[in-house]
Chain A
Amino acid sequence: AQSVTQPDIHITVSEGASLELRCNYSYGATPYLFWYVQSPGQGLQLLLKYFSGDTLVQGIKGFEAEFKRSQSSFNLRKPSVHWSDAAEYFCAVGADQAGTALIFGKGTTLSVSS
């Protein structure tokens, strides 16, 4: 069965420092991978997605993620964090069929210190 693990429940990063949020997935075939962000009281906003091709994908707000099949990982990175990046981040996996439901990780809460 598909599953997603986000090992870090809460991370605190200084403003201007780099960020890496970890995501590991379990899926037998080629996964479709997503990162969403949820600000307090808000819905889920898509940051980036990986379907195929280049394993390094660029997203909005300066985020990028790298798909590593050998490690079953899809970690999210940002070179310099801004205070407005404080939010909850969710990694999700979808099956390789059209229009299937997403399986989400438990999320990582990012706090940014000044």
Chain B
Amino acid sequence: DSGVTQTPKHLITATGQRVTLRCSPRSGDLSVYWYQQSLDQGLQFLIQYYNGEERAKGNILERFSAQQFPDLHSELNLSSLELGDSALYFCASSVVSGGRSETQYFGPGTRLLVL
């Protein structure tokens, strides 16, 4: 158990819909990262938040957005869903104390199926 929790575990929805994925980081970790794992693209970085502020953006679609709340949990919002958005979405967290790359600990993931 990494200490990172994600809900829900599974999500089935229809095209055009909007969903929210939730992540609670490890106790003490200020940084949250979102990754998407799909068969064709592999594991790709989407976005990072640090202590409530957006820190870095990767290959995140404009239909997707995220935020990190004062209690440090994060939500990833996916809207106007398409079949191709079906994937496993991971959240990871790290301390980020400055000066070196910190270890990222991953949650169990949310499996999204868009029908």
| A interface residues with partner B (beta carbon < 8 Å) | 32, 34, 36, 42-46, 49, 51, 90, 94-107
List, sorted by A's number, 18 A–B pairs whose CB atoms are closer than 8 Å. Answer: A43-B90, A43-B108, A44-B106, A45-B106, A46-B106, A51-B100, A90-B43, A95-B101, A98-B98, A99-B48, A99-B96, A99-B102, A100-B101, A101-B45, A103-B45, A105-B42, A106-B42, A107-B43
Q: Which of B14-22, B50-58, B71-79 contacts A (4 or more CB under 8 A)?
A: B50-58
Residues of B at the A interface (CB closer than 8 Å) are: 2, 4, 31, 33, 42-45, 48, 50, 55-56, 58, 90, 92, 94, 96-109
Across the interface, which residues of A come within 8 angstroms of B44, CB to CB?
Answer: 104
Most B CB within 10 A of own CB, among A32, A98, A104: A98
Q: Are A98 and B43 in contact (CB under 8 A)?
A: no
Residues in A neighbouring B48, C-beta threshold 8 A: 99-101
Contact call A36/B106, Cβ cutoff below 8 A: yes
Instruction: Out of A42, A101, A103, name the residue touching B56 (CB < 8 Å).
Output: A101
B101: which of A43, A97, A105 is its contact (CB, 8 Å)?
A97
Residues of B within 8 A of A51 (CB): 100-101
- Cross-chain contact of A99 among B2, B55, B105, B107 (Cβ < 8 A): B55
- Partner among B50, B56, B101, B107 whose Cβ is within 8 Å of the Cβ of A32: B101
Contact at B101–A94, with CB atoms within 8 Å?
yes
B100 cross-chain contacts in A, Cβ below 8 A: 32, 51, 96, 98
Chain B residues in 8 Å Cβ range of A95: 101
Q: How far is it, in angstroms, between the C-alpha of A20 and the C-alpha of B108 when the chains are bound?
A: 26
* Inter-chain contacts of A32 with B (CB < 8 A): 100-101
Q: Which residues of B contact A96 (CB under 8 A)?
A: 100-101
Q: Assess the B109–A99 pair: CB atoms within 8 A.
A: no
The interface residues of chain A lying within 8 Å CB-to-CB of B98 are 98
Chain B residues lying within 8 Å of A99, measured Cβ to Cβ, are: 31, 48, 50, 55, 94, 96, 101-102
Please name the 6 residue pairs, one residue from A and one from B, whose CB atoms are nearest each other, closest first. Answer: A99-B96, A101-B45, A32-B101, A104-B43, A44-B106, A94-B101
